[in-house]
Structure 1
Amino acid sequence: MRYLFRPPASDGAGLLSLPWEQPLEEWDPAVLLEVPQRGISRHVVRFTAQSGRVYALKEIAEPLARHEYALLGQFEEEGLPAVSVLGICVDRPHGQDAILVTRYLEYSMSYRYLFSRPTGEHSADQLLDTLVVLLVRLHLAGVFWGDCSLSNTLFRLDAGTLAAYLVDAETVERHQRLTPGQRRYDVDLARERVGAELLDLQFGELLPPDIDPVDVADSLPPRYEALWEEVTREEVFARDEQRYRVAERLDRLNDLGFDVGEVELVTTADGAKLRVDTRVAEPGQNRRELFRLTGLEVQERQARRLLNDIRAFRAWLEQKTGGPVAETVASYRWLAEVYRPVVDAIPAELAGRLAPAEVFHEVLEHRWFLSEKAGRDVGTSKAARSYFETVLPRTPKEMTTPSAFVSGRD
């Protein structure tokens, strides 16, 4: 029996004491965790916590486990939106299948959980749009999924919107570039699977009565084609329009959540032809910039929102001091005087319901709402107190952080 794991070694070392020689479904419940509202899987899947971290364990045929282990490792190195793989246990006694180990994606939710939440603010349309963004990102990177579905996707809140992550890579094929036929086939498979999953939600009375599962699933291909066209199309425009049209296109791609690599302008008889090399790797520009300035690691839209708040804080400092303030100085003071006080003030009984950056984003939203109502800026501190008293307690305890799962266990 062999257990292979990727760095950091400390992660894998904490799992070595588990009973790898036993069938996963026979493991002692004392070493496992119950994860509420997780997705449906055709394999035996269990969860465990070691050294303050939560891991997902999936029992699967060894060739598939090795295939998935290698692909998820590639995706992580390239920054593609997928779960992080840790290791595999192979050559288990009595010809047992291998066990693939992935790190649990903090603050993530399954589609079933999103629909079962009492607030119910996430619509089928929003989930489908988020899934389509994920599929386009993978296709741009030459990834044929082969089993795209809501069940094989995890969702994270990102500044009020959702971000999607691939969970299951068993059927994935990697190519230099996908053909139109491969993309269409992958999209059609996704349409069938999503339709079945929405019908299942309807049967469980988790789908709003005004939503037709078949109609929603059938809308997936046109949603995909519209987004694919937006991020890959070439444009032709007059030469005197070059500067603002290029900036407009790049801003649009950034707003859609895509990074931009090489930009090529080719002069033609009809004008200038613009071709953009659209990149899909995360972290994006905003995440990198925020990390450089503050050391915070957050989602892309959260980073954009926090950077905007830093810029507003810097402008306020310059107005107050009557002179320029360096970006690094403003960022350091914002982190110490604005962000940290809000995060540190989260009541202990409410900690872990949302990621800290998502809490800060919602506090900013709440500040805007209160300021509009009052006709003046109420300030971040007052908005945070109001948010912790009236809004955050209504957010369900999602049990999505290691501390929430482990509850002191090792």
Structure 2
Amino acid sequence: MTTSLSITSATADPALLDLPWQLPLDEWPDEYIAALPKGISRHLVRFAHLSGHVVAIKETTDEMAKREYDMLRNLQKLDIPCVDPLAVITNRTGVDGDELRSVLVTRHLKFSLPYRALFSQMLRPDTATRLVDALALLLVRLHIAGFFWGDVSLSNTLFRRDAGAFAAYLVDAETGQLYDGLSNGQRENDLEIARVNIAGELMDLEAGGRADEDLDPITLSNGIVAAYRSLWKELTGSESFSSSERWRINERVDRLNDLGFDIEELAIKTTEGGTTVRIQPKVVDAGHHQRRLLRLTGLDAQENQARRLLNDLDSYTATYGRKEYDEEMVAHEWLAKVFEPVIRAIPRDLRGKLEPAEIFHQLLEHRWFMSQRQNRDVPLAEALTDYIDSVLRHRRDEATVIDPPTGAFTLPIPVADDDETDWRLTV
């Protein structure tokens, strides 16, 4: 029987045509399937190999697949940490002529983990707190962009290690909606959904014996409310002070940068007589250190990783930098003489353990602790050897471990061309 298969994609990969779309997803042969663990999902999700990468394939309805695909693309344009949609496949027909469900295809996000896979045996309270804080930061960023999620939870989020903390990525946009701005009621609704869902997820772990006995699900779930309100106030709250204290503008900017945000515009107004100044951040965005590191070195790292690498770069500049060299020249020298030799020294079989920026960050931490214990300045090469043998060699491979709740995961990679391609294939 001849049917018409429709593939909608902004960055079409011809290898999509090689996948067995004429079969129900749960009947795909093992040769196509990537053997990755996955969690509970309200949709059928499987992982497949495609052009040397791993993709997540989620069966759903035509309307939901297209809507989520469009929503994820819009979030990417707003620089929101979310998964990368690859394609929507519709008009699927089985070999027996029966109509098959449409699918959303997305890329697997390397070095990311669902919250259930971020611990080997027991979820410790400090780890759970960092997960909740990362989710609170993601929720603030979404709300600033005017996105109402409607299904905030740990299960709908992927986490990447970021220099001892976690960076959170949205992985399910089915229930979300973009607005010009959110009301306080909409924000509070999303926040309450997050609080209830997180409490339920942590209680589930507790009931299954997979949480530390000191972990309190209610206290931790309430923590997202406190973390969110603190971040929201810092990022959007106004501030008044005497005109003689204008130095506080720089202080406010520094606090925002420490949270990983830049200020694009400030509203500064003087009152009668010029005695007071009012500061109101208008447009905020994450990635101050990330963008500086990318500009200087070309390295694309997480925010906390970038901050740590820049600290090492600044230390190198103070020690070895030449007066006739500008910042970019010193950064290039640091990259060639410090960072790249470290990454090249990692044994090939261990390079999938962590991404390069996280490896370098952990190496700096390891070197500092070695120096403290030995009461001497440990050379970087010596610290690297010890780090590889005593730490890195015993880690799980985070390049491939994943446990997705509903599918669809990757880094937000900007689409070069906004024009979508609609393929119709006769099979």
Judge same fold: TM > 0.5, yes or no.
Answer: yes
Residue 266 of structure 1 aligns with an amino acid whose one-letter code is: K
The offset of 1:95, in angstroms, is 3.6
Task: Summarize the alignment of residues 11-160 of structure 1 with structure 2, pairs less than 5 Å apart.
Answer: 12-36=13-37, 38-93=38-93, 94-116=98-120, 123-160=127-164
Provide the rounded CA distance (Å) in 2 between the counterparts of 1:194 and 1:3.
36
Provide the rounded CA distance (Å) in 1 between the counterparts of 2:21 and 2:83.
22
Is the 8 Å Cα contact of residues 84 and 107 (structure 2) preserved in structure 1? yes
1:175-223 per-position Cα deviation (integer Å, ceiling 9, x unaligned)? 0000000111111111121111111111221111111223322333233
The answer on 1:371 being equivalent to 2:374 is: no
Provide the rounded CA distance (Å) in 2 between the counterparts of 1:220 and 1:287.
25
Residue of 235, 238, 242 corresponding to 1:238: 242
Is the 8 Å Cα contact of residues 115 and 206 (structure 1) preserved in structure 2? no
Partner of 2:303: 300
The answer on 1:315 being equivalent to 2:318 is: yes
Closer, same or farther: CA 120–194 of 1 in aligned 2, 3 Å: closer
Structure 1 runs, 4 residues or longer, greater than 4 Å off: 117-122
Partner of 2:423: none
Partner of 2:195: 191
1:247-296 per-position Cα deviation (integer Å, ceiling 9, x unaligned)? 1111111111222110111112561110112423x5x2322222222221
Is the 8 Å Cα contact of residues 72 and 82 (structure 2) preserved in structure 1? yes
The answer on 1:329 being equivalent to 2:329 is: yes
Partner of 1:389: 389
The answer on 1:343 being equivalent to 2:346 is: no
Provide the rounded CA distance (Å) in 1 between the counterparts of 2:326 and 2:156.
45
Provide the rounded CA distance (Å) in 2 between the counterparts of 1:219 and 1:331.
39
Is the 8 Å Cα contact of residues 57 and 106 (structure 2) preserved in structure 1? yes
Residue 266 of structure 2 aligns with an amino acid whose one-letter code is: V
Partner of 1:256: 259
1:104-136 per-position Cα deviation (integer Å, ceiling 9, x unaligned)? 111000000013357969521111111111111
Q: Percent identity?
A: 44
The answer on 1:288 being equivalent to 2:291 is: yes
Query: CA RMSD, aligned part only?
Result: 1.9
Task: Summarize the alignment of residues 179-218 of structure 1 with structure 2, pairs less than 5 Å apart.
Answer: 179-218=183-222
Task: Summarize the alignment of residues 221-236 of structure 1 with structure 2, pairs less than 5 Å apart.
Answer: 221-236=225-240
Structure having the higher helix fraction is 1
Show structure 1 runs of 5+ residues with no match: 403-410
Q: Aligned pair count?
A: 392
Partner of 1:407: none
Is the 8 Å Cα contact of residues 142 and 175 (structure 1) preserved in structure 2? yes
Residue 367 of structure 1 aligns with an amino acid whose one-letter code is: R
Task: Summarize the alignment of residues 343-362 of structure 1 with structure 2, pairs less than 5 Å apart.
Answer: 343-362=343-362
Partner of 1:166: 170
Closer, same or farther: CA 89–311 of 1 in aligned 2, 3 Å: same
For normalisation by structure 2, the TM-score amounts to: 0.87
SS in 2 for 1:92: coil
Closer, same or farther: CA 359–153 of 1 in aligned 2, 3 Å: same
For normalisation by structure 1, the TM-score amounts to: 0.91
Is the 8 Å Cα contact of residues 317 and 325 (structure 1) preserved in structure 2? no
Partner of 1:273: 278
Larger deviation: 255-264 or 104-113? Answer: 255-264
SS in 2 for 1:293: helix
More RCO (CA 8 Å, sep 6+) = 2
Show structure 2 runs of 5+ residues with no match: 403-427
Closer, same or farther: CA 142–305 of 1 in aligned 2, 3 Å: same
